[in-house]
């Protein structure tokens, strides 16, 4: 499967398993979603469980919260992550805090799916990486798969989680890679990171599309004698600090790669975790490779390439860190 197919399969399987699961969002019905993630679900499950909504993200999330509080399990699709911000208050002040403010009496079992990320000529309003805003919020899980199998297993776990999960799917990864997805009730736990590539000299941490770019860069510098361990975080909240620290203590050098702006990006949290808990193991500075601090990703190819981290930029940072 490709990732988009794995996402669709996970949703279908969970809707078949539990009649409380429903899908809502813009164009998720007969159209099947702008990327095809919900293609065929309307015909299979009907309009009572696959609901087209107005173009109002605060309404989509607010309705999903109400449905979750009343015994349903909604999967709310935000058509592009760039447009999730009108629902910020609903997500942060309501969904994420309901369990805490009700002393555990109420929970909000819901998933918010949102395609994110650049490199697809999406311009200013279809290229943003928004994970840092939401990974900051206790009570909200933030999941960012990078492979079809992970997307399938993590999305099924997200649907079954008793609390709200923001599930971010990189648009460029939707059809980038194909892999086998396990049959049966394939579940992956939310939280644990995975080591995609073993290495000895540098630990490289990434998520989403950047995982693939880091793997390519690591393969390139391997021919120069630089052994890089690539760790796919997969989940930003909760963050798998144990795997991060174990890798750094093994290699003594660390770098974090993300395509959000550098300042205040989630890579800063990873770097701070390493500095606080593995400082004695470091043999060089914690390096961040990220987008520059400019307001948005341009549309035209040269400026989009300037904005985006690339395998070449990542490999150059790996060489520099190895030589430190």
For 237-258, what is each residue's pLDDT tens digit? 999 999 999 999 999 999 999 9
Q: What are phi and psi of 284, to 5 degrees?
A: 170, 170
Q: What is the pLDDT of residue 297?
A: 94
At 74, is the pLDDT very low, low, confident or very high (cuts 50, 70, 90)? very high
Average pLDDT along the chain: 97
Q: Which fold has domain 3-173?
A: Rossmann fold (3.40.50)
Q: Which positions are catalytic?
A: 126
Q: What is the pLDDT of residue 184?
A: 85
Q: What is the pLDDT of residue 278?
A: 98
Q: Where in the chain do CATH 3.40.50.920 domains reside?
A: 194-322
At 88, is the pLDDT very low, low, confident or very high (cuts 50, 70, 90)? very high
288 strand-pairing partners: 256
For 197-250, what is each residue's pLDDT tens digit? 999 999 999 999 999 999 999 999 999 999 999 999 999 999 999 999 999 999
Burial 68-79 (b: 16+ CB within 10 A, else e): bbeebbbbbbbb
Which tokens hold the place of 90? Answer: 């609903």
For 98-127, what is each residue's pLDDT tens digit? 999 999 999 999 999 999 999 999 999 999
Greatest Cα pair distance in the chain: 60
Residues constituting the chain? 324
Q: What percent of the chain has pLDDT over 90?
A: 99
Say if residues 159 and 111 touch (Cβ distance below 8 Å): yes
For 161-203, what is each residue's pLDDT tens digit? 999 999 999 999 999 999 999 988 999 999 999 999 999 999 9
Q: What is the pLDDT of residue 52?
A: 97
Q: What is the pLDDT of residue 48?
A: 96
Stretch 268-284: mean pLDDT: 98
Q: Which fold has domain 194-322?
A: Rossmann fold (3.40.50)
Q: What is the pLDDT of residue 13?
A: 98
Name the nearest CA neighbour of 1 among 142, 170, 175, 179: 179
Q: What is the pLDDT of residue 25?
A: 98
Stretch 60-72: mean pLDDT: 98
Q: What is the pLDDT of residue 68?
A: 98
Q: Where in the chain do CATH 3.40.50.970 domains reside?
A: 3-173
Say if residues 262 and 235 touch (Cβ distance below 8 Å): no
């Amino acid at each position: 499967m490709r990732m988009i197919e794995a996402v669709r399969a996970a949703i279908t399987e969970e809707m078949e398993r539990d009649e409380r699961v429903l899908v809502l969002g813009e164009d998720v019905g007969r159209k099947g979603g702008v990327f095809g993630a919900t293609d065929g679900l309307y015909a299979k499950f009907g309009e009572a469980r696959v609901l087209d909504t107005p173009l109002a993200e605060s309404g989509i999330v607010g309705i999903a919260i109400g449905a979750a509080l009343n015994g349903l399990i909604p999967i709310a699709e935000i058509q592009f992550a760039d447009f999730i911000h009108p629902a910020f208050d609903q997500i942060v002040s309501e969904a994420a805090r309901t369990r805490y403010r009700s002393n555990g009496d109420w929970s909000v079992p819901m998933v918010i799916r949102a395609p994110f990320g650049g490199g697809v000529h999406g311009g200013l309003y279809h290229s943003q990486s928004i994970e840092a805003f939401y990974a900051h919020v206790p009570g909200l899980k933030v999941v960012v798969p990078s492979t079809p199998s992970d997307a399938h297993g993590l999305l099924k776990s997200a649907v079954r989680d008793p609390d709200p999960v923001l599930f971010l799917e990189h648009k460029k990864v939707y059809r980038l890679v194909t892999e086998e997805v396990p049959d049966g009730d394939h579940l992956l736990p939310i939280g644990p990171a995975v080591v995609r590539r073993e290495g000895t000299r540098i630990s490289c941490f990434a998520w989403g599309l950047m995982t693939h770019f880091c793997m390519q860069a690591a393969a390139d510098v391997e021919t120069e004698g630089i052994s890089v361990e690539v760790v796919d975080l997969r989940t930003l909240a909760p963050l798998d600090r144990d795997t991060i620290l174990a890798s750094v203590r093994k290699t003594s050098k660390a770098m974090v790669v993300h395509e959000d702006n550098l300042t205040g990006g989630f890579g800063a949290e990873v770097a701070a975790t390493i500095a606080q808990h593995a400082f004695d193991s470091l043999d060089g500075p914690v390096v961040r490779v990220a987008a520059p601090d400019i307001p948005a990703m341009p549309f035209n190819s040269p400026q989009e390439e300037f904005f985006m981290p690339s395998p070449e930029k990542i490999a150059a940072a790996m060489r520099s860190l190895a030589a430190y």
